[in-house]
């Protein structure tokens, strides 16, 4: 068996011009707003009913459940977000709210440990009869994650006790033994949550049950069919359901899947959990199965923005190289699951290919999901929009040109909030003798090497500049400082205390590993190549054939009608376009804007009403103005595109 290289996640205090305002937004705007939403205090918003459901359950009432079967998870995600926020800094007021919510959850908990207001209120006695549809363990998983985050912030044992009791009930109920249900949840989530709870508590039964879920899933006979038969035999009312087995990740055991199929969020949540299992058990063959799935996604099913799950059809992965720009689904929650998954693979094998993808998702397809003011959200993240289409074709019912304040199905807004609050886990990793820097975000982390406490302080104006400065403080210790060399940087310079160091010889899996005895005051400076790049798609990616996307640093750019007028498909950019760029503080909360005068568009001089012509219309020079993709749809409504037609110059 190959030796794995586990690198624990390391938390870091973030102090960053790009990210800190976003974390503050979550703390100051999103968390209070969500709390009001959960309590139905927002005028004009769709009723949530989440807290009301828990009150009713706590009081032993019945028949009054509001919202979706996964409504409970909204409270869980809020609580987890609060946990991450409190990890950044305690807040008495907020903790009071959260503690009250925890009490409410505890009061709603059944004697056997079960928590689930939908069944408690509407179907008492029918718990676990329909694990395919009813998200009971999905909700449980989110509560377990919340418990871990909140405990780690506050040492509050109450939520942990509640959730361990719930976990114990699940561990007892599900499994391969006589009298247990050999089932698994229709929406993966609990797999990774049980591993988190195991890591915190050391209770190995949580890990074992998680492994059972991962391995049992998709085996024949399909559990979802088995339980359906049981429900029918019990005379339960059933709707016809045409969703395919891969929607539920139950089409095949994960080891046999090979390609990433079905509902994208479910898929990547499962893959993240399976990666945990592979890691905890040192299971090489499972790891290899998961890595094949990763390769399939990254090499064939991922947008240039890092978005995944291209198809509106069951919110699913579709097939290789099927990445339509206007019909993109690319759900925000799928981006989050993708980050969770990549993060886990990165801890097993510190290879920059994982961290590069994480970075791609972070600065593009994830961040596009939330407006700059934190008050509105995209569920779907298209790469091209022509507003007149919205609502005029039934094939992209979900693609909107404006972010929405909240959703009936509110999965994405609380999910992106909790992700941003948890960002500090994505920056560094450590093991006994290595400290990895995966992401360039202003922050400070403390680690102990050979008994010495070492602090690393990272300063940077990333992603607008490519300068990163790392300063070592604390005691003396020998370890390798491993700096990710982003694949987009064509030329990277690293200086150690002012002297350029030769990178090639010390580079391993995309990280420059500087091994030495570090001393207080050592300074590493890194300069990344921030020149603007024209990105081209693989030739099989039909939707973008002949087109190019603009990237600078980790940021993928787009064109908006606000800057470029309408009909963006008519615009062409020269293969050898030159760009001018500048950071514009008052544009879109501060972005680095790009311009090129090497663009062309059709001259309308000869254009008549003829729809088709043999004429070859003359083209005229035009200026193209690019803004970061994540910042689109924060001004007036209009067209947007990431891919622009490339005007090939210097044809061979």
Site of interaction with its own copies (CB under 8 A): 295, 298-300, 302, 304, 311-313, 318-319, 322, 327, 386, 388-389, 392-396, 488, 490, 533-542, 545-546, 549, 551, 567, 569-570, 572, 575, 601-602, 604, 607, 609-619, 645, 647-649, 651-652
Q: Which of 115, 198, 97 is nearest to 154 (CA)?
A: 97
Report the Cα 118 to chain-centroid distance in Å: 27
Q: Which of 262, 348, 332, 237 is nearest to 630 (CA)?
A: 332
**Nearest residue (CB) to its own copies, 35 versus 386:** 386
**Nearest residue (CB) to its own copies, 398 versus 450:** 398
Give me the catalytic one of 185, 411, 412, 558.
411
Please report how close the Cβ of residue 267 comes to its own copies at its closest, in angstroms.
Answer: 16
Please report how close the Cβ of residue 395 comes to its own copies at its closest, in angstroms.
Answer: 2
Q: Is the dihedral of CA 601, 603, 609, 613 positive or negative?
A: negative
Please report how close the Cβ of residue 491 comes to its own copies at its closest, in angstroms.
Answer: 13
Please report how close the Cβ of residue 275 comes to its own copies at its closest, in angstroms.
Answer: 21
**Nearest residue (CB) to its own copies, 127 versus 641:** 641
**Phi, psi for residue 48 in degrees, rounded to 5:** -95, -55
Cα-Cα end-to-end distance for the chain: 50
DSSP bridge pairs for 601? 620
Q: How far from 63 is each of 37, 53, 58, 74, 343, CA to CA, in Å?
A: 21, 10, 13, 20, 41
**Nearest residue (CB) to its own copies, 155 versus 614:** 614
**Nearest residue (CB) to its own copies, 220 versus 394:** 394
**Nearest residue (CB) to its own copies, 231 versus 619:** 619
Helix (H) or strand (E) holding 454: strand 452-460
- Contact yes or no for 477/435 (Cβ under 8 A): no
Please report how close the Cβ of residue 613 comes to its own copies at its closest, in angstroms.
Answer: 6
**Nearest residue (CB) to its own copies, 236 versus 615:** 615
**Nearest residue (CB) to its own copies, 126 versus 295:** 295
Residues composing the chain: 652
- Determine whether 24 is an active site residue: no
- Determine whether 315 is an active site residue: yes
Give me the catalytic one of 136, 191, 315, 561.
315
Strands 434-437 and 477-484: parallel
Q: Which of 488, 459, 647 is nearest to 556 (CA)?
A: 488
- Contact yes or no for 52/120 (Cβ under 8 A): no
Give the integer Cα–Cα distance in Å for 538 and 302: 12
Please report how close the Cβ of residue 611 comes to its own copies at its closest, in angstroms.
Answer: 5
Give the integer Cα–Cα distance in Å for 536 and 288: 29
Q: How far from 251 is each of 30, 209, 261, CA to CA, in Å?
A: 37, 21, 9
Please report how close the Cβ of residue 394 comes to its own copies at its closest, in angstroms.
Answer: 4
**Nearest residue (CB) to its own copies, 71 versus 249:** 249
Q: Which of 131, 83, 100 is nearest to 38 (CA)?
A: 100
Quick one: CA torsion of 24, 29, 35, 37, rounded to 10 degrees? -140
Strands 511-518 and 452-460: unpaired
**Nearest residue (CB) to its own copies, 49 versus 554:** 554
Give the integer Cα–Cα distance in Å for 288 and 344: 14
What b/e string do you get for 497-518 counting C-beta neighbours within 10 Å, with b at 16 or more? eeeeeebeebbebbbbbbeeeb
Please report how close the Cβ of residue 543 comes to its own copies at its closest, in angstroms.
Answer: 8
Q: Which of 93, 90, 92, 76 is nearest to 148 (CA)?
A: 76
In 10 A of CB 614, how many CB atoms?
5
Cis, bond preceding 463 (omega within 30 deg of 0): yes
Please report how close the Cβ of residue 367 comes to its own copies at its closest, in angstroms.
Answer: 18
Q: SS3 of 220, please?
A: coil
Please report how close the Cβ of residue 630 comes to its own copies at its closest, in angstroms.
Answer: 17
Q: SS3 of 527, please?
A: strand
Angle made by CA atoms 343, 348, 352, in degrees to the nearest 5: 60
Please report how close the Cβ of residue 399 comes to its own copies at its closest, in angstroms.
Answer: 11
**Nearest residue (CB) to its own copies, 231 versus 569:** 569
Q: Is the dihedral of CA 75, 77, 78, 80 positive or negative?
A: positive
Q: SS3 of 518, please?
A: strand
State the catalytic residues.
Answer: 315, 411
């Amino acid at each position: 068996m190959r030796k794995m290289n586990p690198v624990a996640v390391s938390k870091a205090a973030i102090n960053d011009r790009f990210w800190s305002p976003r974390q503050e937004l979550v703390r100051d705007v999103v968390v209070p707003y969500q709390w009001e939403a959960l309590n139905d205090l927002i005028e004009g918003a769709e009723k949530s009913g989440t807290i009301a459901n828990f009150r009713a359950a706590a009081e032993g009432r019945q028949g009054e459940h509001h919202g979706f079967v996964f409504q409970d998870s909204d409270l869980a995600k809020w609580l987890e977000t609060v946990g991450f926020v409190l990890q950044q800094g305690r807040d008495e007021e907020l903790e009071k709210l959260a503690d009250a919510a925890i009490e409410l959850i505890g009061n709603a908990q059944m004697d056997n440990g079960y928590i689930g207001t939908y069944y408690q209120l509407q179907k008492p006695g029918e718990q676990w009869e329909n694990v395919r549809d009813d998200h009971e363990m999905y909700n449980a998983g989110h509560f377990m994650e919340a418990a871990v985050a909140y405990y780690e912030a506050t040492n509050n044992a109450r939520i942990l006790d509640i959730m361990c009791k719930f976990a114990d009930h699940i561990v007892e109920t599900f499994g391969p033994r006589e009298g247990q249900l050999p089932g698994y949840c229709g929406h993966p989530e609990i797999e990774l949550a049980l591993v988190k709870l195991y890591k915190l508590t050391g209770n190995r039964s949580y890990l074992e049950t998680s492994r059972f879920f991962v391995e049992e899933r998709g085996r024949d006979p399909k559990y979802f069919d088995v339980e359906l038969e049981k429900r029918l035999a019990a005379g339960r009312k059933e709707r016809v359901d045409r969703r395919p087995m891969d929607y539920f990740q139950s089409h095949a055991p994960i080891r046999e899947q090979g390609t990433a199929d079905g509902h994208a969020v479910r898929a990547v949540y499962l893959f993240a959990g399976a990666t945990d299992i592979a890691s905890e058990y040192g299971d090489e063959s499972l790891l290899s199965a998961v890595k094949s799935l990763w390769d399939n996604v990254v090499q064939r099913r991922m947008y240039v923005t890092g978005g995944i799950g291209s198809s509106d059809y069951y919110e699913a992965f579709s097939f290789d190289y099927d990445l339509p720009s206007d019909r993109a689904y690319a759900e925000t929650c799928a981006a989050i699951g993708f980050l969770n998954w990549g993060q886990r693979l990165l801890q097993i094998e510190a290879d920059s290919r994982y961290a590069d993808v994480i970075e791609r998702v972070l600065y593009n397809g994830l961040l596009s999901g939330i407006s700059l003011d934190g008050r509105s959200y995209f569920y779907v993240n298209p790469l091209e929009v022509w507003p007149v289409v919205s609502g005029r074709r039934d094939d992209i019912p979900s693609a909107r040109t404006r972010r929405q304040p909240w959703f009936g199905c509110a999965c994405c807004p609380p999910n992106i909030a909790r992700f941003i609050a948890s960002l500090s886990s994505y920056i560094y990793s450590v093991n006994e003798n290595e400290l990895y820097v995966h992401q360039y975000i202003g922050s400070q982390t403390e680690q102990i090497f050979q008994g010495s406490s070492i602090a690393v302080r990272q300063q940077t104006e990333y992603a607008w500049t490519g300068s990163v400065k790392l300063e070592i403080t604390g005691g003396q210790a020998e370890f390798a400082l491993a700096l990710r060399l982003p694949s987009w940087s064509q030329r990277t310079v690293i200086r150690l205390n002012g002297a350029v160091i030769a990178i090639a010889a010390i580079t391993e899996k995309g990280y420059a590993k500087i091994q030495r005895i570090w001393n207080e005051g050592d300074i590493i400076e890194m300069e990344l190549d921030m020149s603007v790049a024209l990105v081209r798609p693989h030739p099989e990616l039909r939707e973008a054939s002949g087109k190019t996307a603009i990237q600078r640093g980790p940021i993928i750019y787009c064109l908006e009608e606000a800057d470029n007028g309408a009909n963006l498909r008519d615009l062409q950019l020269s293969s050898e376009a030159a760009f001018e760029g500048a950071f514009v503080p008052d544009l879109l909360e501060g972005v680095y804007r790009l311009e090129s005068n090497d663009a062309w568009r059709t001259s309308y001089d000869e254009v008549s009403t003829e729809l088709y012509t043999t004429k070859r219309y003359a083209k005229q020079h035009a200026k193209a103005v690019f803004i970061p993709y994540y910042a689109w749809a924060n001004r007036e409504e209009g067209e947007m595109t990431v891919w622009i037609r490339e005007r090939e110059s210097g044809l061979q």
